Each structure stands twice: as structure tokens, then as C-alpha cells.
Homo-oligomer: A and B are copies of this chain.
Amino acid sequence: MPSDRNDLPTSADVFCAAQTIADSVHRTPLIRSQLLDQVGGANLWFKCEHLQKVGAFKARGATNALANLPAGAEVVATHSSGNHGAALAWAAAELGLPCIVVMPETAPRAKREAVQSYGAQIIICGPTQLERETALQAVVEETGAHVVPPFDDSRIIAGQGTVALEVVQQCRDQGFTPDVLLAPVGGGGLLAGIGLAMAALAPDVLVIGAEPAGADDAQRSLRGGVHVTTQQPQTIADGLRTTLGRRNYSVIRRTVRDIVTVSENGIVRAMELLWTRTKQLVEPSAAVGLAAVLEHSARFRNKNVAIVLTGGNMDLDRASSLLAGAEK
């Protein structure tokens, strides 16, 4: 790994990360559904990262980051309303490292409970980006904790990218080659990592990102050629409300073919289809890839498309109201 975290990660970092984390994370299954193939008009394979440790791909990056801590780091910290906080808490507990997670008071109960269950200390703060950063800064000053950011970090990007190496291998095992690898993009840790992995391993595969139309900073950044760093996200996909990171943008513009957006209705419909057809309880953010296939059908028709299902963590009462809303 680059010793200076300001460096950009490379494809080689992803391959190293795969070695580093192999014994700590699950090699999640790649599943299909004939019914969804019919609905989508394409051959779809779903990479089940909701079955990953802590219920999200974030376990990959967190594990890789903690395996590459600077000398002397004895406490780790982050701010997160979501799966990164749980992943870091889990990965730290595996190593016996103390962990502090700054969480906004608005974070879903399920995610707070997850962080707690892994034994991390939680600091509650206000919901804005500034309040979170201020609270985290106070933690660092008080404890000397080493901060592991959720996405704008080379170790994190490399860790998340390992999912793509598995997808390619699992596709080969099943006797096919993907035409497209489709992943949601929020802060861009996953998509940048996948871009790096595929650039080295399978450059013919189109890597495409998908994001809610109500949080389309990544598309605007990529299509406009200028990194958009602010937005007012409006989406039920709580994992995708973050703004694309600096390193993430730099990597994505070089390695990702395009980013498409999807509607809120499309996300709910895709989530409903995944729940009822595959019986997999994925969170809204995880449904964005399938939503992209359904809303941009001409683009994906009859193609072999691998889609990352990113996570499965949500409050049951929230699931409940989304389900009720999804009813005809």
C-alpha cells in the first residue's frame, strides 16, 4: 500500500488487498434469478455483499485499512451514519483495537445497534457534515485516534475493489464473461475500487456506476469533467447520500465508463423485485444497480450484467413503510 495516504491507489493495491483480507471476510455468493432476467431483458448476476461480514461490502475496506495502519496507531475512529461505522467497529474488534464511531443522532437504530454490538464507543453528534467533522476532530484531539475515512482513502478503495476480483472469478467458474459490471456510487469507494480492479484484470468489461437522480453528484462530476463537491441529496438510498470523494473522483474518471441515474420509484420497485424474487433482504442502496437495468433497458438488453448488491442493513420499521409504499 502507498505509505502516504494522499497518493492515489493503484490496481496492484486491490490485488494486495485481496490477499490481505482473504481470511477475514466472506467470499460472498454470486446468484441469479430467471424471473429477474425476464423482467430485466438481460442476463443478470448478483454479487451478494449483503451476506458479507456486518452485512455490507464495507467490511472489505475496513479490514484492509486496519491491516495497513501507520506505526503507533492504537485507537481508530471514524464518523459514519451507516455501514462503514459498523464495519470499522467489527474489524477493530477482530484485532482487539479500541474504536470510536461518531454517529449523527439521525442514524438508523439498526446501524447504531450494530456498532454497539461490536463493542465500539459511540459519540452522538448533530446531523450536518460540519457537526460530524467537528465531533470527530474533538475525538482525535482527545484520544490521538487514527481516523479511517469511509471512502476517500486508498486503503478503503483498494479493499472495496476486491469484490470485483471475486465477481470475475465467479463468472468464469460459471462459464461466462460479464459485459458490464454495475455498482452503486455514493462516496465512490466501491466504484473506484472496482474500476481499478477491472482496468487491470478485465479491461473489456464496462464498469458503470448507478446513483439516485436525487444524489447525482457523481454523474455530474464524470460527465462535466469537474468534481462536484456539494449537493443536497434527496433519496431513500441512505448509503448513497454522500458526495464523491477526491481520490474517488480521480480514479473513477480514469476507470469508469459512465454513471447512470435512477428514480426513487425505480429504487423501490427494484428492491421489491429483489425481495420477492430472490428472497434477499437488501437495503435500498443495494437495489440501485437493478433499478438502472430496468430504467435504462435499451442499454443493457441481452447483455451479461454483474450487479453488486451492496448491503442488507435497515430498520425493520423503515423496511415496513417502504414495503407498504411499494404496494400497488
A residues at B contact (CB < 8 Å): 29, 50-51, 55, 110, 272, 275-276, 278-282, 312, 316-317, 319-321, 323-324, 326-327
Contact = CB atoms under 8 A, between A and B. Distances in A.
Contacts of A323: 316-317, 319-320, 323
Contacts of A317: 323-324, 327
Contact of A275 (B29, B316, B324, B326): B316
A278 B110 CA distance: 14
Q: Oligomeric state, in number of copies?
A: 2
Nearest to A325: B320
12 contacts: A50-B279, A55-B279, A272-B316, A276-B281, A279-B280, A279-B312, A281-B281, A316-B323, A316-B327, A317-B323, A317-B327, A319-B320
Nearest to A315: B327
A261 to B, nearest CB: 26
A110 B276 contact: yes
Contacts of A312: 279
Contacts of A50: 279
A281 B323 CA distance: 13
Contacts of A327: 316-317, 320
Contacts of A110: 276
A208 to B, nearest CB: 25
Contacts of A278: 51
A167 B181 CA distance: 34
